[in-house]
Amino acid sequence: MISKLNLRCLLNSYRSFTFVKATSATASRPGSHLCRTINRCSATDQRSMATLTEVVSTLKKMAPLSLAESWDNVGLLVEPEVRKPVGRVFLTNDLTEDVLEEAVSVDTDLIISYHPPVFAPFKRITSDAWKSRIVSRCLSRGIAIYSPHTSWDAVENGLTDWLISCFDGTVSTIQPLNINPEFSHVVTLSASLSDNTPLSGIEIKAIVESSDFQADKHFKVVHYNNSQLQVLCNSSSLLTLNKVAKSSKCNLFFYANKNESLPSSNMGAGRYCQFRNELTINAAIEKIKCHLGVDNLMIALARGSTLESTIDSAAAVAGSGASVLRGVDAGLYLTGEMSHHDVLDAVHNKVTVVLANHSNTERNYLNVFAGRLLEEMPQLNVHVSKVDRDPLMFV
């Protein structure tokens, strides 16, 4: 009988290529198996396809781009002039020229590259630079490129939650994200006629609404009753509202409060896990290897620790995590890469550091996301790259 841990290792060592949503007819055939069905190709022309706009809208719903870091370049990065239906979607961690060859070979319509292949501004698109060659070829073949990057890191149940899920325990966000509200102010309005008869919230809305102050465009109604109307709007709309109040034949009054951004407890950078039961460092390492599907890791033991020392917690950041992990009180740090001096600081602060190489902390999440995308858009044929790999290897 195979254990759960060994089964996870076995599944993670297999890089599936094509995901197709199973049908009830397939599942009911004698001898059929879910894994076999998931990895069977089906002809795209037998499936209804989606528009690029529909797929991009779904991707934004699954991981809003507002969650991405301010420095990041996320979203639809390459949009071909010729619009065509999207039937095949190709997932990769890094869009290299070898990966693009693979994507072209399966006739993909959209590449979702976790890392943005377009980051620094281009001054020219020519054949003398590999990134511009990728953009040029995608445009010529009508292939769109979308990158989610740090929006996947921050979103609830996203990449970072997947990364920390190799441990069993209570998970919390290391750096909660401040969610900026859509509107900057909360405004409460009241009004009355010349004889001081109060107007209802609905009546007030009819008075203030105009071509320059429209519901669901310039403001959003959040509450109304028999005497008040409460709306959300931006500071630019307050000037319009003030003009309306002054010109109104009714006695119209309003006051505005700043709509402050609030930290989200389940979205943001990094995850911390308080274990249900203590683990030896060696046991934690084996869990990480199986989860990431790798054979080797780089380990820096906390000062005074051995592989048999026990820990009760871990903190994880995908990719390069030193800036987020620095100072976090955990028994183990899991990330892709850290500088020499950041590792020294950690081990002298009694933290064991586990480094897997940058993209190895991210890549296996593509299989998870492929399944979720099919749940949202079952008409798609979703491929996960077999060529994509971390450029560094252990020898």
Neighbour-count burial of 199, counting CB atoms closer than 10 A to its CB (0-12 exposed, 13-18 middle, 19+ buried): buried
Q: Which long-range contacts (CB under 8 A, 24 or more apart) does 367-376 make?
A: 367/15, 367/16, 368/162, 369/91, 369/152, 370/16, 370/19, 370/91, 371/19, 372/62, 373/58, 373/59, 373/62, 373/89, 374/19, 374/20, 374/21, 375/21, 376/58, 376/61, 376/62
- Mean pLDDT in the chain? 86
Looking at the structure, tell me whether residues 243 and 345 fall in a common domain. Answer: no
Domain of 83: which CATH number?
A: 3.40.1390.30
Are the C-beta atoms of 160 and 271 separated by less than 8 Å? yes
The reply, when asked if residue 153 is annotated as ligand binding, is yes
Residue 26 lies in a domain: no
Looking at the structure, tell me whether residues 75 and 206 fall in a common domain. Answer: no
Looking at the structure, tell me whether residues 98 and 211 fall in a common domain. Answer: no
The reply, when asked if residue 358 is annotated as ligand binding, is yes
Q: What pLDDT digit, counting tens, does each position of 141-167 carry?
A: 999 999 999 999 999 999 999 999 999
How far, in Å, CA of 149 to CA of 65, rounded? 9
Looking at the structure, tell me whether residues 201 and 348 fall in a common domain. Answer: no
88-92 and 110-113 strand pairing: parallel
Residue 40 lies in a domain: no
Looking at the structure, tell me whether residues 338 and 192 fall in a common domain. Answer: no
Q: Which domain holds residue 81?
A: 50-148+366-384
Looking at the structure, tell me whether residues 217 and 171 fall in a common domain. Answer: no
How far, in Å, CA of 321 to CA of 345, rounded? 14
Residue 21 lies in a domain: no
Residue 10 lies in a domain: no
Helix (H) or strand (E) holding 103: helix 97-105
How far, in Å, CA of 309 to CA of 306, rounded? 5
Greatest mean pLDDT range, 105-119, 120-134, 194-208: 105-119
pTM above 0.75?
no
Residue 121 confidence class, pLDDT cut points 50, 70, 90: confident
User: Which has the minimum average pLDDT: 70-79, 169-178, 333-342?
Assistant: 169-178
Looking at the structure, tell me whether residues 64 and 121 fall in a common domain. Answer: yes
Looking at the 3D structure of the chain, how many domains does it have?
A: 3
Q: Is the pLDDT of residue 23 over 80?
A: no
Q: Is the pLDDT of residue 32 over 60?
A: no
Residue 2 lies in a domain: no
* Terminal C-alpha separation, the chain: 34
Which of 240, 261, 282 marks a domain boundary? 261
The reply, when asked if residue 149 is annotated as ligand binding, is no
Looking at the structure, tell me whether residues 295 and 311 fall in a common domain. Answer: yes
Looking at the structure, tell me whether residues 207 and 244 fall in a common domain. Answer: yes
Report the pLDDT value the prediction gives residue 105, as an integer from 0 to 100: 97
The reply, when asked if residue 362 is annotated as ligand binding, is yes
pLDDT > 70: what percent of the chain? 85
Residue 110 lies in a domain: yes
Residue 231 confidence class, pLDDT cut points 50, 70, 90: confident
**Strand locations in 306-393, DSSP E?**
310-316, 332-335, 352-355, 381-384
Looking at the structure, tell me whether residues 370 and 303 fall in a common domain. Answer: no
Q: What is the mean pLDDT of residues 87-106?
A: 98
Place of tokens 């020898």: 395
